[in-house]
Structure 1
Amino acid sequence: MAGILTRLIQTVFPAPGVAVRRWRQPLLLGTALVAGVLLGAGRFQPSRQNPEGTLRGYLRFREVLSRVDEEYVDSVDVEGLSDFAIARMLERLDPHSTFIPAREREQASAFLQSDYDGIGVEFNLFRDTVTVIAPLGGGPAEQAGLQPGDRILAVNNQPVSGRHITMNQMFAKLRGPAGSVVQLQLLRRPGTKPLQLSIPRNRIPNTSVEAAYLLDERTGYIKISRFASGTYDEFKQALGDLTREGMTQLVLDLRGNPGGYLDRATKLTDEFIAGTRKLVYTDGKGDQFDTQTYSRITGEFEEGALVLLIDEGSASAAEVVAGALQDHDRALLVGRRTFGKGLVQQPIVLNDGSELRLTIARYYTPSGRCIQKSYAEGAAAYSQELRNRQRQGEFQHADSIHVDDALRYRTDHGRTVYGGGGITPDVFVARDQASLSPYYARLQSQNLVREYALQFYQNHKAELEALRFEQFQASFQISAAQLAELADRAEEAGIAPDAAALSQCAPLLSNQLKAHIARSAYGKPAYYMVLNTRDAELQAALQAVADGRAMIAQNLSDH
């Protein structure tokens, strides 16, 4: 079939220099003929934009794949080759158009779902050992007695410890239909007999509002990790609870938020912006994917000081929120320049159940700023862009942020803002220098800080349970001896000792260790309560609230 189709396409679209009298026949008739053959052979739909080009490309790829399958010297996985070719093709378009094979589609979508079927456990990999961080409150794992620090040796009698298993593979093993049972073999303490647990799967909430509490009597704090299907409802609940507790000013933390569903992000933004105002618009090829989104409801927090925390990890829908609040002078943005991901992907489910997430438009803020940073130099350069920011000093100095004067825009009250790559904050806060050291990076990459904290919790569980969180927060401190013990474990793991680097990192490491211990002993909100005590961006936000700068519309106009 491939050979017949190739000869047919060569007849209709001959190579340059080939004299074919029939070339003068109507091109439309030839295109229709080829399309008809292809539709009968494989349901191929030629592009209306460039039908001749897509037909030629389709036939070329089909013939090559067929030849490889039939004639290559070794047996090959032709479906895997096809997936690889599609992925490489999309790389030539932009960094965010992707292809997801059918076997990975459900897992790829789970990140943005409000719930899933599983046992409800947070885990990590420490030296090829799957270790429980915490069972989710009220979930099957907690009810079955799973504890922080437990090591999972086997799932359904299949060993997982020491097997170079990936996080994705573990997700696949632990998740499954509600009502089905997972058999776990656990090691709670070295030298003890492994435990056997049978845990029934159930529907597990997948929350995206990580923490919501009062920083003081009037100032609320809400941390949102992503814009998932349930984010808006979770946020509304948190906002209402804090308002009833007396909140009149808010710090909204979108640091490290990679985005998600745009409509959840714009609905959240609408809670802060009064009247009918543009929140975001998209612009694509022609007008098929052009949209404009406006505020339309009376929100619950349209007045009152609002500070938004952002950093280089804030992307996509998180940047849409930041851009709208900044353009309308509704919030003070504190932190560092955002990632710069402003391309809109449309999910397209293919016949075999795989999914194409194709870029169809660009996001623009109300003032007209394009959020997307340049990807003209290719995928490799794009993936290194954040590292280049660090090398150029942007994480440490506001004047190192590159802006393009040709992309100058104005907010509602006349302040100058710039497009062309992310959202620049109103108040710059340098990244903790200790977090940029190679020694600290290696401790984090090997999960040694979290591992040490888990083992400390296991060894002092009774003492910690005897303390209320408020007592722990006020009195517990990481000692120099404990930091030295962490350094010894790092040396055992192959990280060369560096006394100067450890001293530089000590305040940061101490706070992180305490926060991870609090996570195991008191839950996720406690983790953020501890971590935030020495959070430079949060302290800058509180200072801005205290001195009135957070009322941005009245205080930051520069016209």
Structure 2
Amino acid sequence: MRNKKLQVWLPLIFSLIMISGMFFGFKLHQQTGSARGFFKKDKRTSLQEALDLVRNRYVDSVSLDSLQDGALQNMMEHLDPHSVYIPANDLSEANEDIVGNFQGIGVEFNIFSDTVHILFVIPNGPGDKAKLQIGDRILKVDDSSIVSKTLPSADIKRMIRGKAGSKVKLTILRNNKLQDVFVTRGTIPIPSIDAAYMIDGSTGFIKLNKFSETTYQEFMDAMTQLKAKKMTSLILDLRGNGGGLMSQAVNIADEFLDDNKLIVFTKGTNSERQEYRAKKEGIFEKGKLVVLVDELSASASEVLSGALQDWDRATIVGRRTFGKGLVQEQYVLSDGSAIRLTVARYYTPSGRSIQRPYEKGKKVYMEELYHRYEDGELMYADSMHFSKKDSFKTNGGKVVFGGGGIVPDYFVPVDTSLYTRGVTRLYLDGRFSNFVYQYYIKNMSEWQKYRTPAEFAVKYQNVNDAWEQLVAYAAKDSIYLKKIPEDDKKDIQNRMKAYLARFKWRTQGFYQVLGTNDDMILKAKEVLSK
């Protein structure tokens, strides 16, 4: 039975880790750096000679760009798992999460029954100003139909997005009536903070999803608001945070650490040791602090949690982190493509390198997370399989280890609800999110009763009605929910409630409602109460 425990989460785990490993972790001052100056143009390489021969002598026509991209990709494969080549066409999108914004119309959409449905409209964004609404169905973009069984979501996104200031014509279906809406695109922020709220009268909660150029300022704004509400203890949630700009993690760590404390240092074969220290009085140097981490917490998340653990400033709760202790810098090549090259390792204040071994290749490296599941590490604290030969001590004398991520002070297992195969299908193929969306649209007047996620979490009582409708909906596809274990039922009901809150209050609502039954948050509150 245990092999079924993570069926729901494994695809998400591997996709997120690939993203975090490939696209996060380079230094801010190198983001727009150029490779010019590193390469001399007066000496042609074998690669250039080969490309010229193909161009001038090959029997058929061929895309030289594709050949060059393939050669560079192959070169990166022989380095560490986090050095990556990014083709010119993909660079702008690859940088979006780091920059913290993109250019578009400011709506979130999903595809249900071959049709694009608007799930959320960013307040005061271009779509909001054009009067787009949740539930609108987009049928055409600039008179080109996007109703298709084969058109990928990524292609639809490219059609809708565009340079700020440009206009796009959307043909939408609302209340069974067709209408054209003209939207002037703008710059849309990508928030680093999913949620920031008071759990109780003294405990604040902040969930960070990445470390982009805007993260530190977002964090400070959230902290200021929480302190104004008399916060004396904080739960900082870094679960699923694949990292980002190390400078942002250093700045946030500075807000928790006093004096001239070392936060992190980096060094590599071709780069000298560089130290990053606390420089100023922080906004929260005294209050109780718990940091939540899991196997998807990587890179800059590990810089922050490692520094706070080494100085005994925070209690770390959760599961062993990913183990990415490599620093990337980005270099733009002459054709507009780029490489993110690992240039150094980072070390926590105690001297730990938390980077996992990668000598056996990228495939083995990435599959290590799956082996954590197979070996029982995600369920049992005493099943952790990593080298403990590199031991270090925190400022207070607690033993910690390098070479395998950050090990939490308090272990919380992954949710071990034994989902049946049918319930797994319900989550993985979109049926669940489709149902919740349809239920939300059909009951729009119901959601107007609630002003805040906290009020909704306490007062919304119709979850049984939603459950009965979900049971009937799933049965149409031979997914039978009536006899599933009670714990599974409660978990699904709680997630339905959280998804409903997300449609009204976005991620803030989702996490605030879901957090009422979150095992890690409950453990963190227990730790804070000691």
TM (normalized to structure 2)? Answer: 0.87
Distance in 1 (alpha carbons) for counterparts of 2:517 and 2:103: 37
Inter-CA distance 435–450: structure 2 relative to 1 (3 Å threshold): farther
Change (3 A) 1:158 1:402: same
Look up the SS of the partner of 1:290 in the other structure: strand
Higher mean Cα deviation, 335-344 or 177-186? Answer: 177-186
Contact 2:463 2:497 in 1 (8 A): no
Q: CA RMSD in A?
A: 2.4
Asked whether 1:459 is paired with 2:439, we answer no
Letter of the 1:138 counterpart = N
Q: Deviations over 1:76-119 (max 9, x none)?
A: 22211210221122011111111111111111111122333321
Is the contact between residue 227 and residue 262 of structure 1 (CA under 8 Å) also seen in structure 2? Answer: yes
- What code does the residue aligned with 1:103 have? N
Rate the CA distance shift 1:492–1:355 in 2: closer, same or farther, 3 A: farther
Partner of 2:391: 408
Matches within 5 A, 1:343-362: 343-362=326-345
Deviation at 1:212, TM superposition (A): 1.1
Please give the alpha-carbon distance, in whole angstroms, between the structure 1 residues aligned to 2:494 and 2:192.
23
Task: Tell me if structure 1 keeps the 8 A contact 2:426–2:479.
Answer: no
- The amino acid that maps onto 2:181 is L
Question: Partners in 2 of 1:402 and 1:279 — Cα distance?
Answer: 27
**Matching residue's letter, 1:329:** D
The runs of 5 or more residues in structure 1 that have no matched partner are 1-38, 47-54, 548-559
- Per the TM alignment, residue 322 of structure 1 is displaced from its structure 2 partner at its CA by 0.6
The aligned counterpart of 2:18 is none
How far apart in 2 are the matches of 1:268 and 1:456? Answer: 40
Pairwise CA distance, 1:67: 4.1
What is aligned with 2:28? none
Q: Deviations over 1:446-468 (max 9, x none)?
A: 23222221111100001221333
Deviations 1:207-263 (A, max 9, x none): 211211111111001111111111101111110111111001100111111111111
User: Which of 173, 180, 193 is the equivalent residue of 1:209?
Assistant: 193
Larger RCO (CA under 8 A, 6+ residues apart): 2
Find the aligned partners of 1:170 and 1:263 in 2 and give their Cα distance.
34
1:241 and 2:225 correspond: yes
In structure 1, how many angstroms separate the alpha carbons of the residues matched to 2:277 and 2:509? Answer: 36
For residue 432 of structure 2, the aligned residue among 433, 449, 454 is 449
Distance change (3 Å), C-alpha of 1:228 and 1:498: same
- 1:131 equivalent in alignment to 2:117: yes
Partner of 1:118: 104
Distance of aligned partners of 1:128 and 1:78 in 2 relative to their CA distance in 1, 3 Å threshold:
farther
Aligned equivalent of 1:254 = 238
Task: Tell me what 1:305 maps to.
Answer: 288
Alignment of 1:233-382 (within 5 A): 233-286=217-270, 288=271, 290-382=273-365
Is residue 423–residue 479 contact of structure 2 (8 Å, CA) maintained in 1? no
For 1:186, the equivalent position in structure 2 comes to 172
8 A contact 1:290–1:361 mirrored in 2? no
Question: Structure 1 residues 346 and 215 mapped into 2: Cα distance closer, same or farther (>3 Å)?
Answer: same
Moved more, 315-324 or 143-152: 143-152
Distance 1:202 1:432 in 2: 40
- Contact 2:216–2:248 (8 Å) recurs in 1: yes
Structure 1 pair 124–382 and aligned structure 2 pair: CA distance change class (3 A): farther
Counterpart of 2:214, as a letter, is G
Q: Which piece of structure 1 moves more, 81-90 or 349-358?
A: 81-90
- Cα distance change of structure 1 residues 165 and 228 upon mapping to structure 2, 3 Å threshold: farther
Across the two proteins, how many residue pairs are aligned to each other?
492
Q: Which residue of structure 2 aligns with residue 532 of structure 1? A: 515
1:425 aligns with one of 399, 402, 408? 408
Contact 1:477 1:514 in 2 (8 A): no
SS across alignment from 1:194: strand
Separation (CA, whole Å) in 2 of partners of 1:115 and 1:200: 16
Q: Cα 1:382–1:364, aligned 2, differ >3 Å: closer, same or farther?
A: same
Structure-2 residue corresponding to 1:516: 499
Partner of 1:197: 181
Residues 459-498 of structure 1, C-alpha deviations (whole Å, 9 max, x = no match) = 00012213334543223246456445435545656x7546
Match of 2:25 in 1: none
Q: After TM superposition, give the deviation of residue 376 of structure 1 in Å.
A: 1.6
Q: What is the letter of the counterpart of residue 429 of structure 1?
A: V
**Residues 184 and 351 from structure 1, CA distance in 2 versus in 1: closer, same or farther, beyond 3 angstroms?**
same
TM-score with structure 1 setting the length:
0.82
Matching residue of 2:29: none
- Deviations for 1:327-361, whole angstroms, at most 9, x for unmatched residues? 00000011111111111111001011111111111
| Counterparts in 2 of 1:297 and 1:166: CA distance versus 1, 3 Å | farther
Structure 2, unaligned stretches of length 5 or more?
1-35
SS in 2 for 1:183: strand
CA pair 240-259 structure 1, distance change in 2 beyond 3 A: same
Q: Which moved more, 1:481-490 or 1:354-363?
A: 481-490
2:374 paired residue among 391, 398, 404: 391
CA deviation digits over 1:477-532, x for unaligned, max 9?
46456445435545656x75466557553222211111111111234322211010
SS at match of 1:182: strand
CA distance in 2, matches of 1:328, 1:92: 37
2:318/2:410 contact within 8 Å kept: yes
SS at match of 1:384: helix
Tell me the equivalent position of 2:160. 174
Aligned: 1:79 with 2:65: yes
Distance 1:437 1:318 in 2: 33
Identical counterparts, % of pairs: 39
Structure 1 position 315, deviation (Å): 0.9
CA distance in 2, matches of 1:239, 1:279: 20
Aligned AA (2:193): V
Equivalent-residue separation in structure 2 for 1:521 and 1:202 (angstroms): 23
CA distance in 1, matches of 2:475, 2:73: 40
Measured in 2, the distance between the counterparts of 1:351 and 1:136 equals 37
